[in-house]
Structure 1
Amino acid sequence: MFKKIILILLLAFPLLVDAQEDIYNPSKEYEYPSDPLVRDKLEQWQDLKFGVILHWGIYTVPGIQESWLICGESWPKRDTTMTYEAYKKWYWGLADQFNPTKFNPEKWAEISKNTGMKYLVFTTKHHDGFNMFDTKQSDYKITNGPFKNNPKADVTKYIFEAYRKQGMMIGAYFSKPDWHSQDFWWDRFPTPSRNINYDMAKYPQKWQKFKDFTYNQIGEVLGNYGKVDILWLDGGWVRPALKTELAREEWGMNKRGRANYPNFNQEVDMPRIAKMAREKQPGILVVDRTVHGPYENYRTPEQSIPKEQIKTPWETNITITSSWSYRQKEKVKSSYWVIHIMAEIVAKGGNLLLGWGPTPEGEFPKEIEQPLKEVGAWMKENGEAIYGTRILDFYNDGTTWFTRSKDGKKKYAIACITEGESIPATLKWKGNLPAKGGKIRLISTGKNVDWKQEGDEVVVSLPKDLIGKKSQALAFSFN
């Protein structure tokens, strides 16, 4: 029997990203999975805390936004020197140029592991319908273009293998909408929005073909590529109809001006898909993003962090660059930013899924190398306060965030240092006081530090050899 928990997700301001209108509000309800294998996997996933999401596809070739520029809605900023139909033709044709000859998934996985990441989510297919795996359901795929004769042309296979060898959980991103499919966007009609562009009531067999196509493709991803732990489904508008005005309001339709969402059922038969998924991959987490119910095993606020702690499973997916997919001369956020939001997210009960896009040649952008290296160094020394932890009721005081060990025997304080400032002589926090006569250990050194209590505040004296140096944060353990 599902345990149903209802709560309001109050999101903080969106973090720095490209201006876009494709972000939907997370679900406001959560249902724990009933399958004990899924519950066990969910518990394991919650221990990991830190993952990577990689957007890679034909949009990488010119360095433009992934998929959305071919959507007929008014907000994507496409090249207006071309007609809309000519633009779509140009975009589809990028498949003939995508030739990532420097593709080295082993290096990708090594960099991710050294950053401290514990799981991967890779885009097997985005909304544009270009397949990054060797599907038999479509000819529009990386194994059909200029990269087809490369020994690693089936890139999903080799990415999954490389990350699996590094001991990581494997997540398959899959877009439910497919704008290249004639059973979703039919060339007989215009494509004014992200939705299917024909009357489903008049052409029910066509929609059934699309549901079968989706089912078969997901079956390929989960049946042909080894162990997969997460099926991460994007495209939340492909879902059952929003039948009430309240539902539309809660999902952010009216607030975001999404009156173009039709009140018809775009359901792709999730019960059938989930049943097949768990036959092929017992215990797999199914994440039907923004669609409340038994097939959203954890929630996924995008490019934002909830204002308050949430006691059910969730994951924030955020980019370290200014966009999900590759751009030239990327604006990259610092290691301070990554570690500070990680401390906040974990203290609030979530996981951090950090994203960027590989280059057209198949490499990680040079710009992210240094911040990732710095994050990895910090995580290597201080990961005890992050990995495998759980929440405390009192989880924050200013820029200090608190977690605890799963057995409850230890508490952790992660004191964030403002970027540009040096480590001070003392640090203070309120709440979560150590036991009387207890010890506070600086995790990075393994040594105890002096401390005292002043009223309801802990005052920690830092070692002299640290004072004046730089660090993104200092982590402490205590009983």
Structure 2
Amino acid sequence: MLTLLLFANLSIALAQKKERNLKVKNEVKWFTDARFGMFIHWTPLGAVNQEIGWSWGRELAAADYQKMCKEWNPTKFDADEWVRIAKNAGMKYIVFVPKHHDGFSLWDTKATDFNIMNTPYAQDVCKQLSEACEKQGIIFCTYYSIADLHQNEWSKMCWVEDTVFEPVKGGMDAYLEFVKKQCAELIQKYHTKNFWFDGFWHSEWYDNPKYRKELSDYLKSLDANIIMSRLQMPSKPVGGQWDDGWDFEKNVGDYHSREDHGGKEWENLYYKGPWEFCSSVAYPNYSYNSNMKFKTAKELIQTMVKIAGRNGNYLLDMAPRPDGSVDDTQKRLFSEIGDWMKTYGETIYQTEGGPYLPLKGDFVSTRKNNKIYLHLLSGQTSITLPAFDNKILSAKIFQTAAKVKFKKENGKFIFAVPANYKNENDLIIELTIKGAAADIALME
């Protein structure tokens, strides 16, 4: 995963005025409406507590890594159960990792023999998952690593801050054809709707924009509605750091993407366009490790709310065991999130961020139609916010009849939470206004 460097041109400063969210393209609308998705990293390496891709040539010799892949037999894998966990959690799409940096492909690919069909298991994982998603009404999406240790015969995965890279076997032109062939399979055979690209920092890729443009154009020619992100970086690393997002409107792709780096830098951001934040229930682990330390359901729910209030999607990772089963702790966490979403999902799904910009991480707002939802995350009993011109027709605690008293004073709204109303995760004030909430300019 990458180290974070913030770029001012990708977010709006909190002091800016009269800014509005960008209009979302038709093909991206399902994505922004969904707001919540499941990431899935799955590997046999969890049997020895090693991370997918990155342990190749480091903690494990390349030959030992490949041996574990070739001998894999995940007899407890149940695609329907995985998708059911996501659906019950309130997730609307799944981003499955069918090929990480190691190059081991979890589908019946014709581009390489290093795939799941040449193992004792010998079953097409992508086929099972895509069919389970279709059956349960979940949108199937795929991660895809541009970097490929096996195909290029690299000794180990390069770091983003490396200045010397092992060469791409056969040159980038030939390798791009390999990438195109695999991506075409994922579109044509499994109907992926979104590519979450990774491993794009090799110099032969980022030094030449023609490759990412050619790949993007090719994929769009196969499916005009396919969306994608993370095909390029805006610049080479500065002081060993990269930016996770980029101005996709001037480059290739359909939405911004940021990764969790364990800090709170993202809490100072607000994107006007579509974007997504990825993390794990046990960050920094994305693939299974028996020593994983899990976040609480409250932490995960509040992160989702904070991301939605910043106009973004939350992509939360599940890490199945090597045998295909999912441990009880992860099941419980996703179930608890799902219970919350059943009651409060209306304030997340199909919303956009604003009109209020985030305040110090303990307050965000979301909106849709003629509703504005004020999310109070730290037990506030009152909140003072800039006034907008639209008339407030009603103010109440969400999903109750409890009215919220408010007044307008010196260009500010002052809202008072009724006594005895508390919510451990997120106390939500629902405002019904005259006019469209989306038309209100962003305010600090």
TM-score, normalization: structure 1? 0.74
Q: Following the alignment from structure 2 to structure 1, what is the Cα–Cα distance between the partners of residues 417 and 127?
A: 50
Cα distance 1:147–1:28, how it changes in 2: closer, same or farther (>3 A)?
farther
Q: Tell me the SS of whatever aligns to 1:51.
A: strand
Q: 2:188 aligns with which of 214, 217, 223?
A: 223
What is aligned with 1:119?
A: 93
Unaligned runs of at least 5 residues, structure 2: 11-23, 235-249, 434-444
Is residue 303 of structure 1 aligned with residue 289 of structure 2? no
The aligned length equals 390
Give the whole-Å Cα distance in 2 for the aligned partners of 1:403 and 1:350: 10
Correspondence for 1:286 among 205, 209, 228 = 228
Stretch moving more, 429-438 or 295-304: 429-438
Task: Give the secondary structure class of the aligned counterpart of 2:55.
Answer: helix
Amino acid in the other structure paired with 1:125 = K
Q: Contact 2:216–2:253 (CA<8 Å) still a contact in 1?
A: no
State the distance in 1 between where 2:3 and 2:287 align: 15
Q: How does 1:407-446 map to 2 (within 5 A)?
A: 407=369, 409-417=370-378, 427-431=381-385, 438-445=393-400
Q: What code does the residue aligned with 1:212 have? A: E
* Cα drift, residue 110 of structure 1: 1.1
Q: 1:233 aligns with which of 168, 174, 197?
A: 197
2:128 to 158, 162, 179: 158
Match of residue 56 from structure 1: 42
- In structure 2, C-alpha distance between the alignment counterparts of 1:386 and 1:433, rounded to whole Å: 23
Give the equivalent residue in structure 2 for 1:12.
Answer: none
- What are the superposed Cα offsets for residues 294-353 of structure 1, whole Å, 9 maximum, x if unpaired? 322111110052512111221111111131100114211111111111111111111111
How far residue 476 of structure 1 moved from its aligned partner, in angstroms, is: 2.3
Shift of 1:454: 8.2
Moved more, 282-291 or 227-236: 282-291
Distance 1:28 1:129 in 2: 35
Give the distance between the partners of 2:293 and 2:147, measured in 1 at CA. 29
Map 1:336-347; keep pairs closer than 5 Å: 336-347=298-309
Cα pair distance change 1:374/1:69, threshold 3 Å: same
Tell me the distance in 2 between the aligned counterparts of 1:163 and 1:108: 9
Is the 1:330–1:367 Cα contact (8 Å) retained in structure 2? no
Residue 472 in structure 1 maps to residue 433 in structure 2? no
Given that 1:309 and 1:349 are in contact with CA atoms closer than 8 Å, whether structure 2 keeps it comes out as yes
Measure, in 2, the Cα distance between the counterparts of 1:126 and 1:357: 14
Partner of 2:244: none
CA deviation string 1:166-219 (max 9, x = no partner) = 2222211111011001xx236xxx658457523x7xx8x544332211111111
Compute the TM-score of the two structures, normalised by the length of structure 2: 0.80
> CA 1:27 to 1:44, structure 2 compared with 1: closer, same or farther past 3 Å?
farther
Output the CA distance in 2 between the equivalents of 1:436 and 1:173. Answer: 45
CA distance in 2, matches of 1:352, 1:274: 24
Alpha carbons of structure 1 residues 24 and 217: separation in structure 2 relative to 1, 3 Å: farther
Deviations 1:129-156 (A, max 9, x none): 10011111111111110101xxxx1001
Q: What SS does structure 2 have at the residue aligned with 1:321?
A: coil
Q: Percent identity?
A: 25
Q: How does 1:171-320 map to 2 (within 5 A)?
A: 171-181=141-151, 184-185=152-153, 193=158, 197-198=166-167, 205-225=170-190, 227-238=191-202, 265=208, 269-292=211-234, 293-304=250-261, 305-320=266-281
What RMSD, in angstroms, separates the aligned Cα atoms of the two structures? 2.8
Q: Is the 8 A contact 2:402 2:418 kept in 1?
A: no
Q: Is the 8 A contact 1:99 1:147 kept in 2?
A: yes
Map 1:28-107 → 2, pairs under 5 A? 39-71=25-57, 78=59, 87-107=61-81
- TM-superposed CA distance for 1:59, in Å, is 2.3
Looking at structure 2, the residues matched to 26 and 214 of structure 1 have their Cα atoms a distance apart, in angstroms, of: 30
SS in 2 for 1:237: coil
Amino acid at match of 2:54: W
Cα gap change, 1:289 to 1:192, in 2 (>3 Å) = closer
Residue 239 (structure 1) shift: 6.0
Matches within 5 A, 1:318-337: 318-322=279-283, 323-337=285-299
Partner SS for 1:472: coil
2: CA distance, partners of 1:239 / 1:333: 36
1:400 aligns with 2:363: yes
Tell me which amino acid in the other structure corresponds to 2:366. T
Deviation at 1:94, TM superposition (A): 0.6
